[in-house]
């Protein structure tokens, strides 16, 4: 496929790996922010091509993973109601809540549908006027335009049997949470290319300046990731801390301004709870007052519910880049994608799922 | 606000919402997320990145020839 195959070219990968080896003079730790990048790194074995001492940490950029257990519980509570059709991306169904997951609710008779796009949920609302359609609006900035459009269109068309359970989060405040933690080891970031496609790169400059970290907006193919790593290494080795854009074929410096305008109509920035981090100020989206009637939390009276993270699962530490998945005693034994203890083992973007899929046979 | 288009994902054709990419035209490569195109791939920038990679040495094929060697 054009613009995919050439960014997987084996000879070019070798050249890039050689360039990284030649540039590195001491150990460095780089965090790839996006779960899609984590999976690409594991799938193509990119981490194993790097010089010893050049360490990749896996960041909090998996939307399913960072959604707190409290919101999963709210989802199960709403989905169990008679008259509700609860729509979600498939990944969310197996994420454990405090008591049960959405699959349990479905098995017990809840009407839960897996959809590909929030617009599919809106279509369902049009076709089922006697039912309440709720969409689990999970995602980072990348997903915000689609979720905003579904709500915007619902209002435009006067559809009132549609609402969204919003779990929209933002990357830059999470990077600050990682960097300001006393346990932080990250010295540079591969920033998430598709998040920046929507929002642009400007929000990262103050972070690069304040914390003196290189931030390289990076794509998702092997050559993209290696080039991103190479650009980070060059900055680290020369003492620079700048925002650079490796993924120029997709990311414009100001992002997608049409999408931003749409987001700005429907959403406002609010504090949000994250799995593994707790509440981070100004780290997510909630609906603006104008669109408040589409807020499923108020519509179904679950806004006040709260719950904390529990027990054995170390996904919080994995999401903060403090521990790696295989360091968990439950990994691959008591915790598998079929029977996950936590969200990072469930999601197609979760770090634990990536290690389980690509690395569980490699480790002794 | 509801312009849509047919997008081929390596051969699988799906409808995608084009309201966030008013500049997209037939034949363009677009990046699609949950049914929404969020960017038109800039072919000139892609070529420039590949050109930079080619300068490093071995990538001598044209943009559609990648992946054939090894």
Listing DSSP states for A129-181 in one string gives: TTSEEEEEEEESTTTHHHHHHHHHHHHHTT--SEEEEEEEE-HHHHHHHHHTS
Q: Indicate the pLDDT class of residue B70, thresholds 50, 70 and 90.
A: very low
Q: Which of A4, A6, A146, A247 to mutate to test the interface with B (most CBs of B within 10 A)?
A: A6
Position B60 scores a pLDDT of: 44
Cα(A48)–Cα(A341) distance, rounded to whole angstroms?
27
Number of alpha helices (DSSP H) and beta strands (DSSP E) in chain A: 17, 11
For the record, the structure tokens of A272 come out as 């949000």
Cα(A158)–Cα(A304) distance, rounded to whole angstroms?
28
CB contact (8 A) between residue A197 and residue B31 = yes
Q: What is the pLDDT of residues A4-49, one digit of tens each?
A: 888 888 888 888 999 999 999 999 999 999 999 999 999 999 999 9
pLDDT for residue B44 is more than 70: yes
Q: Tell me if A217 sits within 8 A of A244, measured CB to CB.
A: yes
Q: What is the pLDDT of residues A179-220, one digit of tens each?
A: 999 999 999 999 999 999 999 999 999 999 999 999 999 999
Q: In the β-sheet with A243-245, what is the strand arrangement from edge to edge?
A: A54-61, A28-34, A188-192, A215-218, A243-245
Q: Tell me if A239 sits within 8 A of A25, measured CB to CB.
A: no
Q: Which DSSP string corresponds to chain B?
A: ---EEEEEETTEEEEEE-TT-TT--TT--EEEETTEEEEE--HHHHHHHHHHHHHTSS--S-TTTTT---
Share of chain A above pLDDT 70, in %: 99
CB contact (8 A) between residue B34 and residue A6 = no
Q: Tell me if A300 sits within 8 A of A289, measured CB to CB.
A: no
Position B56 scores a pLDDT of: 67
Helix (H, G, I), strand (E, B) or coil at A243: strand
CB contact (8 A) between residue B17 and residue A149 = yes
CA A270: distance to chain centroid?
17
Position B66 scores a pLDDT of: 32
Helix axes A10-23, A222-237, angle to 10 degrees: 10
Residue A346 buriedness (CB in 10 A; 0-12 / 13-18 / 19+) = buried
Q: Indicate the pLDDT class of residue B1, thresholds 50, 70 and 90.
A: low
CB contact (8 A) between residue A259 and residue B20 = yes
Task: Establish, for the pair of chains A and B, how many residue pairs have beta carbons separated by less than 8 Å.
Answer: 125
Position A331 scores a pLDDT of: 94
Q: What is the pLDDT of residues A300-326, one digit of tens each?
A: 999 999 998 877 889 989 999 899 999
Compare all CA atoms of chain B with the CA of A228 and give the residue at the minimum distance.
B49
Nearest CB partner across the interface for B39, out of A1, A153, A250: A250
Q: What is the pLDDT of residues A123-177, one digit of tens each?
A: 999 999 999 999 999 999 999 999 999 999 999 999 999 999 999 999 999 999 9
Q: Indicate the pLDDT class of residue B6, thresholds 50, 70 and 90.
A: very high
Mean per-residue pLDDT, A344-359: 91
Q: Which residues make beta-bridge pairs with A132?
A: A84
Q: Tell me if B7 sits within 8 A of B14, measured CB to CB.
A: yes
Nearest CB partner across the interface for B67, out of A8, A19, A197: A8
Mean per-residue pLDDT, B17-35: 95
Q: Which residues make beta-bridge pairs with B28?
A: none
Q: Tell me if B47 sits within 8 A of B63, measured CB to CB.
A: yes
For the record, the structure tokens of A203 come out as 């929000």
Indicate the length of chain B as a whole number. Answer: 70
Position A308 scores a pLDDT of: 87
Quote the minimal CA–CA distance from A104 to chain B in Å.
Answer: 25
Compare all CA atoms of chain B with the CA of A89 and give the residue at the minimum distance.
B34
Q: Quick one: which H or E segment has residue A359? A: helix A351-359
Complex ipTM over 0.90: no
Position B69 scores a pLDDT of: 29
Nearest CB partner across the interface for B34, out of A2, A116, A248: A116
CB contact (8 A) between residue B43 and residue A19 = no
Strand runs labelled E in chain A: 28-34, 54-61, 84-88, 111-114, 132-139, 162-169, 188-192, 215-218, 243-245, 267-274, 278-287
Q: Indicate the pLDDT class of residue B27, thresholds 50, 70 and 90.
A: very high
Position A311 scores a pLDDT of: 75
CA A108: distance to chain centroid?
29
Compare all CA atoms of chain A with the CA of B37 and give the residue at the minimum distance.
A146
Q: Tell me if A118 sits within 8 A of A146, measured CB to CB.
A: yes
Q: Give the pairing of strands A28-34 and A188-192.
A: parallel
For the record, the structure tokens of B21 come out as 């990419």
pLDDT for residue B57 is more than 90: no
């Amino acid at each position: 496929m054009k613009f995919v195959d050439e960014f997987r070219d084996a000879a070019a990968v070798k050249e890039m790996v050689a360039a990284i080896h030649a540039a590195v003079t001491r150990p460095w730790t780089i965090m790839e922010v996006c779960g899609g990048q984590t999976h690409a790194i594991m799938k193509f074995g990119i981490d194993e091509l790097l010089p010893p001492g050049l360490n990749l940490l896996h960041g909090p950029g998996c939307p399913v993973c960072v959604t707190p257990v409290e919101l999963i519980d709210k989802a199960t509570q709403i989905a169990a109601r008679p008259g509700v059709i609860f729509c979600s991306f498939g990944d969310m169904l197996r994420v454990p809540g405090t008591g049960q997951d959405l699959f349990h609710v479905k098995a017990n008779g809840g009407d839960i549908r897996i959809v590909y796009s929030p617009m599919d949920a809106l279509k369902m609302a049009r076709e089922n006027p006697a039912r309440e359609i709720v969409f689990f609006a999970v995602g980072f900035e990348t997903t915000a335009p689609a979720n905003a459009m579904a709500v915007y269109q619902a209002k435009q068309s006067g559809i009132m049997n549609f609402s969204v359970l919003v779990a929209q989060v933002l990357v830059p405040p999470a990077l600050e949470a990682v960097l300001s933690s006393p346990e932080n080891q990250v010295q540079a970031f591969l920033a998430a290319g598709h998040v920046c496609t929507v929002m642009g790169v400007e929000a990262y400059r103050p972070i690069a300046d304040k914390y003196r970290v290189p931030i390289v907006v990076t794509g998702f193919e092997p050559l993209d990731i290696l080039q991103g790593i190479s650009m980070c290494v060059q900055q680290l080795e020369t003492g620079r801390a700048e925002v650079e854009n490796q993924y120029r074929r997709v990311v414009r410096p100001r992002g997608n301004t049409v999408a931003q305008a749409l987001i700005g109509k429907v959403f406002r920035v609010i504090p949000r709870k994250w799995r593994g981090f707790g509440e981070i100020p100004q780290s997510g989206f909630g609906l603006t007052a104008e669109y408040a009637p589409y807020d499923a939390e108020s519509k179904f009276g679950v806004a006040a519910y709260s719950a904390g993270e529990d027990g054995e699962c170390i996904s919080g530490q994995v999401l903060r880049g403090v521990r790696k998945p295989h360091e968990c005693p439950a990994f691959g034994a008591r915790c598998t994608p079929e029977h996950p203890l936590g969200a990072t083992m469930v999601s197609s973007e979760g770090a634990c799922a990536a290690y389980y899929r690509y690395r569980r046979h490699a480790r002794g | 606000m509801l312009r849509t288009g047919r997008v081929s994902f390596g051969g699988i054709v799906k409808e995608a919402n084009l309201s966030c990419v008013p500049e997209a035209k037939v034949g363009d490569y677009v990046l699609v997320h949950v049914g929404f195109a969020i960017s038109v791939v800039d072919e000139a920038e892609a070529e420039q990145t590949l050109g930079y990679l080619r300068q490093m040495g071995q990538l001598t094929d044209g943009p559609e020839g990648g992946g054939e060697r090894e």
